[in-house]
Structure 1
Amino acid sequence: MYEKSMTLLIGLYYLYHKSPKQKKALQRAFVMMDFKASIMPTRIGWTRWLPHLDRSLSAFFKGYRVLVYQLQTSSHDNAKAEGFAKLATDGFLILYLLQLKAVVSMLMRLSKYLQKQEVSLADAYSRVAVTMKGHVTLKSESECLIADVEQVLSDRAYDGIELTFRGQRPQPVLEKNVDSVIGKIEERFPQKDPVIEATKITGLNNLP
């Protein structure tokens, strides 16, 4: 699922980045469907991959209805657009992307907090603990905690676009992804460290 997700997100960026015709067609579609601004697909990857992925997922879902409309319209004479239209309406893939967005959004909030100059070491570790707790909750509640996922399962559609569910549903990957994220966070930010405990006295947020 991850590979299919990256194929879709990267492919959409290059489809509209390299083709002025497709880009103009998408911009016209946003105007026609009464969007205040065009929400173009954004690039993922680079060194700061987390904010790029978060931005790409946000743009994809905010402009989803227009994207799918334009892709389906262009699919008659553009094989790439036809392929991306099928991926974008794959119900199982949309479910995966919504779950991925929930995980990435939590990590983005942590990343932005840690970049603040006034954050102490103790404050940073406290926020890391909160983020880990949030991921544990997300895993325990599973997909029912994500409103959009629950809606897709109920309506078999997203933002008014009917989705296609081919074959059997893949094994749930949310729990596996969250476990992997928590493991990586624990490796980088070990919680039981006497030095970290000692620095809590310097954190204003830790005062009674």
Structure 2
Amino acid sequence: MVGKKAGVVKRLKDQTNRAFIQGIHCSAQFSSVELSFKDATKDLSLWTKPSNLLLGVYLFYRNSPLNRSNLLQAFAMEDVEVLIPSRVGGTRWVSHIKRALRNLMTSYRPMIQHLQQIQNPCDPAHNKESARKAVNFLKHLQDKSMVAFLLFMWDIVCCLSAVSEAFQRKEATLEDVYVEIQLAKNTLTNFYEMKVSFCYC
């Protein structure tokens, strides 16, 4: 709609000779927070590996009914809420990542238990490909720096999610949105000043 080369706004300007026409993103349809987050993280090498991990874990359980069934058994043994890993991407980047992180943290212990059970490729009861992936997932999920970064991202995403949700509420006022933006700004500034460093292999 607002593409610089062939968007509707550009075409209206060109075809009507009205250069003063301005395009504005609809905050209720697609918050600029979502677009900003997507742009800020797409080339961020620090986020690439955790993002790939979340995607890999999601596909691992989505594409295998056996793995999903065994994970559900692990949930029952741990007596925790059942939250199967979910996808990272989607129309609403912030909310999808928030859900993916929440599901991973909630299912962390059952998932570790299941992955440890199937990581032996020599066991005839286990699929070799699943065993290989289980070893790789365990390596990353048990890396302290990786876990710390995922928790850090959870804090960031929760902060931005509040802003995004404020934009989307029909009854939200400008003051409501302004307050959420200021709270998010203060939170992100505090994180920046902490200068937390992450290093994972």
Query: Which residue, 57, 68, 78 being the options, matches 1:33?
Result: 78
* Superposed displacement of residue 108, structure 1: 0.7
Question: How far, CA to CA, are the matches of 2:51 and 2:151 in structure 1?
Answer: 14
Alignment TM-score, normalising by the size of structure 1? 0.65
Aligned to 2:57: 12
**What amino acid is aligned across from residue 27 of structure 1 in structure 2?**
L
* Superposed displacement of residue 119, structure 1: 1.9
**What amino acid is aligned across from residue 17 of structure 1 in structure 2?**
R
Question: How far, CA to CA, are the matches of 1:72 and 1:6 in structure 2?
Answer: 22
Query: Which residue, 163, 170, 173 being the options, matches 1:110?
Result: 163
**Contact 2:57/2:85, CA 8 A, preserved across alignment:** yes
Alignment TM-score, normalising by the size of structure 2? 0.67
For the aligned residue pairs, the C-alpha RMSD in angstroms reads 2.0
Are 2:117 and 1:73 equivalent residues in the alignment?
Answer: yes
Question: How far, CA to CA, are the matches of 1:29 and 1:170 in structure 2?
Answer: 30
Aligned to 1:151: none
Query: Which residue, 110, 119, 123 being the options, matches 2:176?
Result: 123
User: After the TM superposition, which parts of structure 1 deviate over 3 Å for at least 4 consecutive aligned residues?
Assistant: none
Gaps of 5+ in 1: 144-168, 172-208
Aligned to 2:199: 170
Aligned to 1:134: 187
* Superposed displacement of residue 104, structure 1: 0.6
Question: How far, CA to CA, are the matches of 1:34 and 1:120 in structure 2?
Answer: 42
Alignment of 1:34-73 (within 5 A): 34-35=79-80, 37-73=81-117
Question: Which structure carries more relative contact order (alpha carbon 8 Å, separation 6+)?
Answer: 1
* Superposed displacement of residue 92, structure 1: 1.1
* Superposed displacement of residue 40, structure 1: 0.7
